A = this chain, B = another copy of it.
Amino acid sequence: MTGTLTIAGLGPGSDALVTPEVTAALAAATDILGYAPYVTRVPPRAGLKLHSSDNREELQRASEALRLASEGGKVVVVSSGDPGVFAMASAVFEALEQAPQWQNISIRVLPGITAMLAAAARVGAPLGHDFCAINLSDNLKPWAVIEKRLRLAAEADFSIAMYNPRSASRPEGFGRALALLKDAGCGERLVIFARAISAADERIETVTLNEARPEMADMRTLVIVGNSQTRRVGRWVYAPRQVR
């Protein structure tokens, strides 16, 4: 008997941001797989197996999820935010490509509120005009690619959402990214540091790029660099719709 594999986004942290279809998938699951802090968000119950794993083990986790589904499980792989944005969905399809015997498993991807949308909503509308999203981790791509994309994004005058800006194992990159954007003439742009959005320890700070320091970010921070027209009104930050 073949089971099903659902790749579900839990949103940024609050239950009020989990979609009903994700809630229903979790309620019907036999197995939940994911990075430990995300699996912890699923309440335990009889008949449900929770499989936590480490952050770096995405491909292994994806293969394990496919294997459990092939044996008849109702398997849900959970990601924070949206599973399709720098999260588990790509890893599952990579694993699927390597394992033709599993290609008839029924798979669904359920979207979620990704960190940049939750962060943007908290401060106003900094993604109200054209923007890009860049993963600042160089675990799976050369740092030179990140620098090239940042430079082109600045030239395009995109607002820039930066995921995974800084971690204990990658303390240097984010400072280099800020320096690059300053060199590209973005010093006066507004930068939003949004940490642990919608969780109890949420913290948000908005400064200019010239005032930004690398220590303002960690792995739980989503950074949004505004475009050249991003502005404040009262406590809010937004990108105007119009470009002249």
Contacts and interface: CB of A to CB of B under 8 A. Distances in A.
Interface of A: 11, 14-21, 24, 58, 82-87, 89-94, 96-97, 103, 107, 109-114, 117-118, 120-122, 124-135, 140-142, 145, 148-149, 152-153, 155-158, 231, 233-234, 236, 238-244
A156 to B, nearest CB: 4
Nearest to A233: B97
Contact of A125 (B17, B21, B90): B90
Contact of A141 (B92, B111, B153, B242): B242
A149 B128 contact: no
A105 B51 CA distance: 46
B96 A128 contact: no
A73 to B, nearest CB: 20
A137 to B, nearest CB: 10
Contacts of A11: 19
A132 B158 contact: yes
A111 B118 contact: yes
Nearest to A110: B121
Nearest to A89: B125
Given A90-B239, A103-B233, A130-B149, A121 B84 contact: yes
